[in-house]
Structure 1
Amino acid sequence: MRVLKLSFLASLLLIFMVQCGNPPKKKQKNTVKEVVNQDSIKAKKRADSIALVEKEKDTFELNEENAIKFFFDYAKDLKQDKVRLTTTKGSFTVQLYDNVPYHKANFIYLTHKKYFDSTQFHRVVPNFIIQGGNSDDMRTAKKRGKIGRYLLPPDTRKGHKHHRGTISMPSSERDNPHKLASPFEFFIVTTNPGSYHLDGDYTPFGRVIEGMDVVDKINQTPIDTGEWPKKNIYILKAEVLD
């Protein structure tokens, strides 16, 4: 009988130990796991929101309906007016005119977007101009596709002339009776004292203030019958100066 009592008490003690052992720890573990999961969900939502904003920025494209308003607004707070272009022939700096706002804003914007990096001076006419901003590389076409398809109106009545060292914008090769400017390209006059027959048809929007000897060096490079340099002349880097 004593043995049965002891056995019964041992059983009760074992049941009590089982009931009072692991469950609290298990419950605590679940609580921690739940908090971690909630934090992970919140973090993921924040990351998704940020990614969505960045995607919207990246997918913004300029077109002929929004370009003028965009550059009008962009020019309002634009304090910078100098851009340095580093080429395979050396570096030169241009200063952009404040009173040609759309063309100035466009050039600064494309520089910030790294568009000109790895493009070329694809046209050279001795003692006349060098023309840059294009390339036969697919990277250039892809950059243009991401930025958008648009033209800029001419702005030829601000008193600027095509003196030597003037940077100006060529007209688009599309059907273009109003000589709207091709925004991705530019040319620099090398004629001394200038090429004034261009006045009124093209928009001067700045001038070379440093490194004109580099511009002349590019203009003296050997070319083929299509006015394309026999050896590619790259714009390695374009940067806006403060």
Structure 2
Amino acid sequence: MITILYSFLAVLINTFHAPPVQVEMVTNCGTIVLELSDKTPLHRDNFVKLVEDGVYDSLLFHRVINGFMIQAGDTESKYADSLASVGSADLPYQIPAEIVPDLFHKKGVLAAARTNNPQRASSSTQFYIVQGKIQNDSLLAYNEGRINKMLARHFGVNDPANKPLIDSLEMAKNQKDSVLIKELDLRLNSILDNYWNFDKYSIPEDQRKVYKTIGGTPHLDQNYTIFGEVISGLEVVDAIAAVETDARDRPLANVRIISMRIL
């Protein structure tokens, strides 16, 4: 009787468990289908709402770096002319970081852009899709060092022992005391560059294998929130990444999101 009950409950749970959300992104270079991760529900739900509200329709891919990533979501880019500065606009809120250890920057992942804030909170609208490069052991070792350098700065900035210095630096900036700003900034950077009070990160072996086969951008791991991946249209990501850009990494010919919809 108990076995039958457990079997019934298992079927019931599977019946009502919703499949991952999929999003169709139509661009003037082709169509990309994204699958959102249930492991990052805040980012998933925010992205769904933005898609349903039509926020992304007609926005540009404003930052494109071949061998790295393609970025969009600047809310002011829809009508931006070729001389306009783009890349700094979004909606007036941030999403708390949802950094999940087993989500990593392999080719095709969808992740949230962010400012250099101590909480690693994400932009409300700006996202990037990883193109990246094939890695080898030497590159992975180098990028592991870059990951730990960013983690050292993150944990160092959030260490209560460093708060008085950071507060003093902020006060000097408010007072526009350039001499004091330079002095305190040098002191803080020296502390952060040598900060050690955290668990050093090592790229797991299963992730190393993926980086050495399909590629990615491992130096961003553990510092930015990944919330989905491309399940169709990687060739479109490659095509966008290959367009000619200016010194600001903006495509010379507009690459535009025509529309997005939930599938």
TM-score, structure 2 normalization: 0.56
Give the C-alpha shift of residue 157 in structure 1. 2.5
SS of 1:134's equivalent?
A: coil
2:126 corresponds in structure 1 to 185
State the Cα deviation string for residues 18-74 of structure 1 (Å, max 9, x = none).
xxxxxxxxxxxxxxxxxxxxxxxxxxxxxxxxxxxxxxxxxxxxxxxxxxxxxxxxx
Question: Counterparts of 2:100 and 2:50 in 1: how far apart (Å)?
Answer: 24
Larger relative contact order, structure 1 or 2 (CA cutoff 8 Å, min sep 6): 2
Alignment of 1:1-242 (within 5 A): 81-134=21-74, 136-137=76-77, 149-172=92-115, 176-192=117-133, 193-241=215-263
Give the C-alpha shift of residue 172 in structure 1. 2.9
Give the conservation status (yes or no) of the 8 Å contact 2:91–2:125. Answer: no
Question: Counterparts of 1:222 and 1:154 in 2: how far apart (Å)?
Answer: 33
Consecutive aligned runs of 4 or more in structure 1 exceeding 6 Å deviation: none
Question: Counterparts of 2:78 and 2:131 in 1: how far apart (Å)?
Answer: 29
Question: Counterparts of 1:87 and 1:130 in 2: how far apart (Å)?
Answer: 13
CA 136–197 in structure 1, closer or farther in 2 if over 3 Å, else same: same
User: Structure 2 regions of 5+ residues with no counterpart?
Assistant: 1-16, 81-89, 134-214
Give the C-alpha shift of residue 158 in structure 1. 4.5
- Identical residues among aligned pairs (%): 32
SS of 1:208's equivalent?
A: strand
Question: Counterparts of 1:172 and 1:208 in 2: how far apart (Å)?
Answer: 24
Output the amino acid matched with 2:54.
Answer: K
TM-score, structure 1 normalization: 0.61
SS of 2:237's equivalent?
A: helix
CA 106–156 in structure 1, closer or farther in 2 if over 3 Å, else same: same
User: Structure 1 regions of 5+ residues with no counterpart?
Assistant: 1-76, 141-146
Output the amino acid matched with 1:240.
Answer: I
CA 232–184 in structure 1, closer or farther in 2 if over 3 Å, else same: same
Query: What RMSD, in angstroms, separates the aligned Cα atoms of the two structures?
Result: 2.1
Give the C-alpha shift of residue 207 in structure 1. 0.5
Give the C-alpha shift of residue 134 in structure 1. 1.6
Question: Counterparts of 2:78 and 2:243 in 1: how far apart (Å)?
Answer: 24
Give the C-alpha shift of residue 135 in structure 1. 5.4
State the Cα deviation string for residues 100-131 of structure 1 (Å, max 9, x = none).
10000011110000000010100001100000
SS of 2:123's equivalent?
A: coil
Question: Counterparts of 1:218 and 1:148 in 2: how far apart (Å)?
Answer: 25
Give the conservation status (yes or no) of the 8 Å contact 1:154–1:180. Answer: yes
Question: Counterparts of 1:138 and 1:208 in 2: how far apart (Å)?
Answer: 23
Q: How many residues of Structure 1 are paired with residues of Structure 2 in the alignment?
A: 157
